Structure 1
């Protein structure tokens, strides 16, 4: 009948109206497949005559614009199959564990009768579903009148049908799946089409389980400190695919808003952005790794930053300042950047939601802005990709994606930052039998007011970001990046490496050909003179890095007896040459 009716069946409608309104029996709609599709598409209330007329009008419109095959396909994709299951594809996979292409005749007939009464026929209880079996047998009897069946098919149709329960479905990476579906729905709206029938994602289920397990166990251990929530994100920098995404400590815990995807929440990053200040300084010829900075009380106009420990180190190299996360040297370097500024760099890197630059001033250096975990992972992946920015991917790609994004940092600056971060000693969390000196470039961060604890690592081909805190922003003095986030970070890395889940080891990073090692005076980080007593090596970018001669150690002719400086001419019998260190008064 479906292929011959014009979208509605007058006889069925009259029969339904007679039974419903004149005989006052159980309501009977009399809708055709096209009418049912119209009701599903436009959410029409068909319980009164006016709604029924709208349904018929939309059904006629569908018949005028689409073929019968298209209407049937759409109906099968929208029809309800019980238990909030929509579409024959989803129903086939949930009830029978495979796609529609593998359905047997008993399974096909079972799915065919479900949309007629999905609420009753889709119910499973311990005694089976008599209503479903009876409906299927009636349809099977009609089927046999027109189609020959084998003895095996006939026997199979007489057996009860075992349907799987929704509760038996695997429930993996729900935060990741929700984000994938949301992004695909957005794309479908933009292209005015439907969702793809299949999506192949970048997620690695084995890695996901390990990261989830480590995060859940860690939060359980830390509850005594009032720590109840955390999130983690693992990215493969070769194709920028997200391999693991854990949005909270427990998806089903409403008390911590567990269904929120914490990797998308904007949070103060604390000191996790400092590596990029120094990377810009390397590229702009402001410093080299051995440059000595001032860690002393300093005012930058009205802004007077302090270090986390409220102490000052005096002279400190760029390398040590970054490893030890000193605030004042970082602000000093940021103040000397020209183009791009740190703010310009973050905007170019795709950090969204930033206020105007004047709103932050130099406070942006110390976490005055906000980023998401996914944005932070993108920034650190940039260091592992020679300074090129590439977006994260939720979907699988064919092979390693070598597409080049815009260059925001030079390969030399990226290498120097990772080389410094690899010198940062890891916390004592290595399991027995594993070396602690694994090459991991990592950084921590603690937001103002102890609301967010961060730790980020670049290792092998991967970037791992972990966050510990509360979604509601509740402060906790235990939320210190080096004390809670870093142990979770390294526990997860060791677990991944020990599991053999396919974590591919990268070759030892080689310095870019343009980098050179030069002699420096360790007290100033400048080129040594003959008077410098302590020398060392540092990386240097030819044509970019600053060229300055050490001015700390200076030779002075003095009187042998008084020790006072003398003027020429010098008499070697009464005068001698001594070398003195001339430090700025604040150092």
Structure 2
């Protein structure tokens, strides 16, 4: 062949290729089919499925689900030469033309699998012209897709009657299994129906389907497609099937995922199917028992601590309960967190060196610049250790520690932990944030406790497993387009970008406290009625008993529970201890019953030291009672204990001396409690006996003590406007706290003497309108002023 001939051949080939390319551009392939979005569990089983936009069940069959048995049966029945032709089988066309022309045999169209795919993608009337177009499309499909992809398209589009399309949809809706888990008999059943989807309807024409199935099984056996023994067993398998509802586990998370990834046909979640099913069942049955108490909803989150993978997600007790707003997602709902943030606060305070577990904290009525918190039971204890304050969830000590730490330091850490409501409102948050004054979701709170379980290292909760598709194929399924109304969900893998929120040492100390069983929030009869799980947990109850929380963790899992009403209505029975914790224990017993029995160990950054049992501080000169306490070396404060102070007392014990007025002889040295003024005032007011200082030497003319021990005016609050009704003759309350040696105070209004009173006496006045200066002086000459404004209403 000479050069000219070769050139002409190449030119002709090039012309043909250009022609084909032009035709391909002029007549592009039809768009990919719209699949039914499905959400998978971690093991690959289908958790939840949705109708596609055309209201059909068309679930995408993955290549790995096309078993050799299914492939053999389909190819033997539909297209034996599928592997060798280019979309059109010319031999089959000639045979079909002969049969149709001469009327011998069954009339057929000789459609290949590829031609059927072309017809299913673009349904048209069965005419000779459309048949030609179908063949051209088949050739075009062969040029664009591999044989495996064409077979996959076919199995995703074949009809099974009604609105069921695709082998995966049929397998799930009739056999409740994915195609790769079907038996030989079930696989052959699904292989034969697409040719007669109206006549062979599973659940309606089971006898006809059985007859046709067995006919094809014998035929496949005679062709040597499957071992004879397998065929014999398949022939004996009964066919008693009916249509089932589509899988509908984890409806709330499934909806989140589908909204966030609207263009993905298959979304792989990290949920564990058994845990999810058990969590839904326990939550539904538990709330059913609470309904007579006016409690209708609950939400649950189960997290694997090591991977941060969410393994169970229950957004409500019953998604289909419209009366109780079951479609609301309680995992995302922003509610008052009650006391659930206290462990995190104390951990931060430990990291700042402000407190240690056995340090004493005042638990007395206190005015924090106008904010007067109360304990849940309205009772105060005088002084308590930090570990007792946390175990008993006392409010006043928590507010005191937050006041010492600073609200911005606390809220900045919550912002780092992903608290969206805190991030939006952190400049407006105050001391009440530690008692539920900031909004939080179950998702955020549970993530915070996962942080405690992981030694203070924070990472986002993860909801999806890594995609099994290559990066190029992932783009075809759809980009990561987040819905405006959904929180972005992390892709599941062991987190690497940890954020240290608290130290490992303080996380352990908090865990050690929260694991104690001697505490008031242990449910009544819990110890006798069930096996207590080895967990650390904290409860919370919001103001008005609208929300009950209980969040617990061990080495393997963290479980968060919220119980309440989506309407926001409270219930007298709603409390974290009595309502949320029993469900928490049930969940731990159900989903973590086989967890290894190991527990957290103290990190190397912790150490022990002796502290005074009376104060929890490093022992001073007068600390005979000492206990062991944890501390953070080089971080925890080394303040010396001064819970007692030496006082010079007259020989008869009737009064005390200061250093300036002490006589040369005739006195003795004694130790007296060195209480904070607010603690001594509380004990005085409650009649709690304590060793009180005798009055000071009345003959001493010196002003002693300095302003640091001056009276503290607790009412009225400085720089506050008071609106009083003139006709009701409303009065203003004057109270103060003083050093425990003070016996008498003197009140002044606008620098005019009002009256003398005992240190703990409540004084009432009817003040004039306008600016008001309130002054209080004690019997040691120390003075405090506050300025307020009084407005009168007619």
TM over 0.5: yes
Q: How far 1:429 moved relative to its partner?
A: 3.2
> Which residue number corresponds to residue 334 of structure 1?
402
Greater Rg by CA: 2
**Pairwise CA RMSD:** 4.7
The answer to whether residue 338 in structure 2 is matched with residue 270 in structure 1 is: yes
> Which residue number corresponds to residue 471 of structure 1?
566
* Residue among 418, 421, 425 paired with 2:514: 421
Q: How far 1:272 moved relative to its partner?
A: 0.8
> Which residue number corresponds to residue 160 of structure 2?
81
Distance change (3 Å), C-alpha of 1:81 and 1:373? farther
Structure with greater proportional strand content: 2
- Native 8 Å contact 1:83 1:122 kept in 2: no
Q: How far 1:279 moved relative to its partner?
A: 0.8
Segments of 5+ residues of structure 2 without an aligned counterpart are 1-78, 94-108, 467-492, 680-794
Q: Deviations over 1:141-193 (max 9, x none)?
A: 99899998998899899999726334388x6x811x7636854885695xxx7
> Which residue number corresponds to residue 18 of structure 1?
none
> Which residue number corresponds to residue 541 of structure 2?
446
* Residue among 598, 613, 635 paired with 1:506: 598
* Residue among 604, 610, 616 paired with 1:519: 610
> Which residue number corresponds to residue 249 of structure 2?
174
The answer to whether residue 286 in structure 2 is matched with residue 195 in structure 1 is: no
Q: How far 1:455 moved relative to its partner?
A: 0.8
- Native 8 Å contact 1:94 1:164 kept in 2: no
3-state SS in 2 of match to 1:510: coil
The answer to whether residue 381 in structure 2 is matched with residue 381 in structure 1 is: no
Q: Deviations over 1:550-577 (max 9, x none)?
A: 3342111222124321537977961110
The answer to whether residue 461 in structure 2 is matched with residue 392 in structure 1 is: yes
The answer to whether residue 462 in structure 2 is matched with residue 370 in structure 1 is: no
The answer to whether residue 634 in structure 2 is matched with residue 543 in structure 1 is: yes
Partners of 1:79 and 1:572 in 2: how far apart?
A: 111
3-state SS in 2 of match to 1:527: coil
TM-score (norm 2): 0.58
- Native 8 Å contact 2:173 2:244 kept in 1: no
Distance change (3 Å), C-alpha of 1:467 and 1:238? same
> Which residue number corresponds to residue 355 of structure 1?
424
- Native 8 Å contact 1:456 1:489 kept in 2: yes
Partners of 2:255 and 2:295 in 1: how far apart?
A: 30
Q: How far 1:334 moved relative to its partner?
A: 2.1
- Native 8 Å contact 1:267 1:371 kept in 2: yes
Q: How far 1:386 moved relative to its partner?
A: 0.9
Distance change (3 Å), C-alpha of 1:166 and 1:306? farther
- Native 8 Å contact 2:573 2:579 kept in 1: yes
Partners of 1:115 and 1:572 in 2: how far apart?
A: 115
Distance change (3 Å), C-alpha of 1:450 and 1:532? same
The answer to whether residue 657 in structure 2 is matched with residue 565 in structure 1 is: yes
3-state SS in 2 of match to 1:231: strand
Distance change (3 Å), C-alpha of 1:350 and 1:32? farther
- Native 8 Å contact 1:291 1:317 kept in 2: yes
Partners of 1:308 and 1:119 in 2: how far apart?
A: 67
Distance change (3 Å), C-alpha of 1:34 and 1:539? same
Partners of 1:151 and 1:496 in 2: how far apart?
A: 44
Q: How far 1:496 moved relative to its partner?
A: 6.2
TM-score (norm 1): 0.76
Which fold has the larger relative contact order, with Cα–Cα distance below 8 Å and residues 6 or more apart in sequence?
1
- Native 8 Å contact 1:531 1:555 kept in 2: no
Partners of 1:85 and 1:565 in 2: how far apart?
A: 97
3-state SS in 2 of match to 1:293: strand
The answer to whether residue 145 in structure 2 is matched with residue 66 in structure 1 is: yes
Partners of 2:123 and 2:433 in 1: how far apart?
A: 54
Partners of 1:40 and 1:350 in 2: how far apart?
A: 48
> Which residue number corresponds to residue 238 of structure 1?
306
Partners of 1:302 and 1:60 in 2: how far apart?
A: 81
> Which residue number corresponds to residue 24 of structure 1?
none
Segments of 5+ residues of structure 1 without an aligned counterpart are 13-28
Q: How far 1:412 moved relative to its partner?
A: 0.8
Q: How far 1:73 moved relative to its partner?
A: 1.4
Q: Deviations over 1:266-314 (max 9, x none)?
A: 3322111111111111111222223333334444445444433344444
3-state SS in 2 of match to 1:254: coil
3-state SS in 1 of match to 2:537: strand
Write the mapping of 1:307-346 to structure 2, written as runs, cut at 5 A.
307-337=375-405, 341-346=409-414
> Which residue number corresponds to residue 556 of structure 2?
461
3-state SS in 2 of match to 1:444: strand
**May I ask how many residue pairs the two structures share in their alignment?**
549
Partners of 1:369 and 1:58 in 2: how far apart?
A: 61
3-state SS in 2 of match to 1:356: helix
